[in-house]
């Protein structure tokens, strides 16, 4: 496989400028979506070059592999070969770029560290912001490609009035991936294309079949690329052991809201906010995880009503389609990918922080997840949900 510095076969010198003028690099995962993007761009008489990211050494953590590699994971070795097959079928150059170091530093380590701190992170958002776009756009420019196209279901447009690039929901709401893209910058949006944003999944499949793509019937990827067996907890434990910091003495108390001990746990990384099953103790009524206290190594449980909050604070906010507002704005806010966006007031409370006050209490607002602000079809901005149920309760009492 070629690494990120190996691009044999591309023209050089003055001829390169002419030969590569108008090139668009396609981020090819080996799935039907990104492969169809390449085919659609070719049909528009665009010059295409394929780039596939090598993100994770599949031979690492063999204890998690089981009898064979898990199916339907993105960015596996098979996906690399599938991307190569598509490029050969459509007859355009294809290269594998090695981003393993960036991926581990910017995605895997933060993922593990946040889980161990009691948060529930979103690896896909970090991957999009810190690996797929920033380094891949830089790589595309190095080989002469003017733009980067991906298989994301979202849309981009330029607002001629404000001069800003805007991120919009996909036309197919069931496939919309704008929730994972809130971290993109104006520069990244200006150089990116999402050709599937106007299409439904059925239309994408039909296009793939029409040009006989070898991956036209390939199932969708469902699991994280670096978790071979789909078990996050086992991955965190194996990865921690591999890097010389095995998890030990992680047991602690499970307490109710009054502080009474109702059970014990074997590590806070085994729990997420809102979890009901697998708590490890029996009770006469349903209990849900309300909070994870890493400092005291405790898991706090309670009833469903206590799981609901009106207010959360968001950090690392990136305002996309609008500039950071001076006054509070009304927006529909998603606190999870599958969450139905709920109306709220969003107030910027610093350079990169915001307070979100929902019209109605929302269930299981979880630290480490993304809160994404929508104004109609536009993504106004987004950020990471911060820690602290106490803050939520204090804010709720003031509203």
The crossing angle, in degrees rounded to 10, of helices 109-116 and 232-242 is: 110
**CA nearest neighbour of 227 among 368, 79, 33, 56:** 56
* Closest to 313 (Cα-Cα) out of 362, 369, 354, 252: 354
Question: Is residue 312 flagged as an active site residue?
Answer: no
State the sign of the Cα–Cα–Cα–Cα dihedral 20, 24, 25, 29.
negative
Q: Interior CA angle at 335 toward 173 and 341, to 5°? A: 45
Six-digit token string for 383 = 């950020």
193 DSSP β-pair partners: 149
Query: Which residues, listed in sequence order, are joined to residue 192 by a DSSP beta bridge?
Result: 148
In terms of C-beta density within 10 A (0-12 exposed, 13-18 middle, 19 or more buried), how is residue 189 classed?
buried
Query: Does 225 qualify as catalytic in the annotation?
Result: yes
Rounded to whole angstroms, the Cα distance separating 88 from 353 reads 47
Of 75, 124, 225, 312, the catalytic one is: 225
Selecting among 74, 124, 127, 312, the annotated active-site residue is 127
13's tokens: 């010198």
Spacing of C-alpha 112 from chain mean position = 15
Q: How far is residue 379's CA from residue 399's CA, in Å, rounded to a whole number? A: 26
User: Phi and psi dihedrals of 229, rounded to 5?
Assistant: -105, 5
Find the helix packing angle between 32-43 and 201-210, rounded to 10°. Answer: 60
Q: Give the burial class of 161: count Cβ atoms within 10 A of its Cβ; 0-12 exposed, 13-18 middle, 19 or more buried.
A: exposed
Distance CA 342, CA 311 (A): 12
Active site residues per annotation: 127, 225
């Amino acid at each position: 496989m070629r690494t990120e510095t190996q691009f044999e076969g591309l023209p050089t010198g003055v001829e390169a400028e002419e030969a590569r003028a108008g090139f668009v690099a396609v981020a090819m995962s080996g799935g039907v979506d990104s492969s169809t993007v390449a085919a659609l761009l070719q049909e528009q008489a665009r010059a295409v070059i394929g780039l596939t990211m090598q993100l994770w050494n599949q031979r690492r953590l063999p204890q998690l592999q089981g009898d064979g590699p898990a199916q339907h994971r993105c960015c596996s070795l098979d996906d690399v070969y599938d991307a190569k097959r598509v490029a050969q079928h459509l007859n355009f150059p294809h290269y594998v770029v090695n981003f393993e170091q960036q991926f581990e530093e910017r995605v895997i380590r933060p993922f593990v560290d946040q889980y161990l701190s009691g948060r529930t992170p979103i690896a896909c958002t970090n991957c999009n912001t810190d690996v797929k776009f920033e380094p891949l756009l830089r790589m595309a420019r190095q080989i002469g490609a003017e733009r980067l196209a991906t298989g994301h279901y979202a849309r981009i447009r330029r607002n001629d009035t404000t001069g800003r690039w805007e991120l919009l929901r996909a036309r197919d709401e069931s496939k919309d991936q704008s929730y994972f893209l809130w971290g993109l910058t104006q520069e990244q949006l200006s150089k990116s294309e999402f050709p599937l944003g106007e299409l439904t999944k059925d239309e994408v499949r039909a296009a793939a079949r029409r040009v006989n793509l070898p991956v036209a019937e390939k199932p969708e990827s469902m699991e994280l690329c670096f978790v071979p067996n789909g078990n996050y907890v086992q991955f965190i434990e194996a990865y921690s052991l591999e890097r010389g910091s095995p998890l030990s003495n992680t047991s602690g108390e499970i307490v109710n809201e009054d502080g009474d001990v109702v059970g014990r746990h074997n590590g806070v990384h085994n729990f997420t906010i809102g979890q009901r099953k697998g708590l490890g103790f029996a009770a006469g009524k349903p209990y849900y995880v309300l909070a994870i206290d890493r400092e005291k190594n405790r898991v706090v449980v309670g009833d469903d009503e206590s799981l609901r909050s009106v207010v959360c604070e968001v950090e690392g906010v990136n305002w996309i389609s609008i500039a950071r507002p001076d006054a509070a704005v009304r927006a529909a806010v998603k606190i999870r990918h599958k969450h139905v966006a709920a109306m709220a007031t969003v107030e910027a409370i610093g350079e990169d922080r915001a307070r979100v006050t929902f019209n109605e209490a929302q269930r299981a607002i979880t630290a480490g997840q993304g809160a994404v602000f929508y104004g109609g079809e536009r993504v106004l901005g987004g950020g990471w949900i911060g820690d602290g149920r106490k803050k939520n309760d204090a804010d709720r009492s003031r509203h």
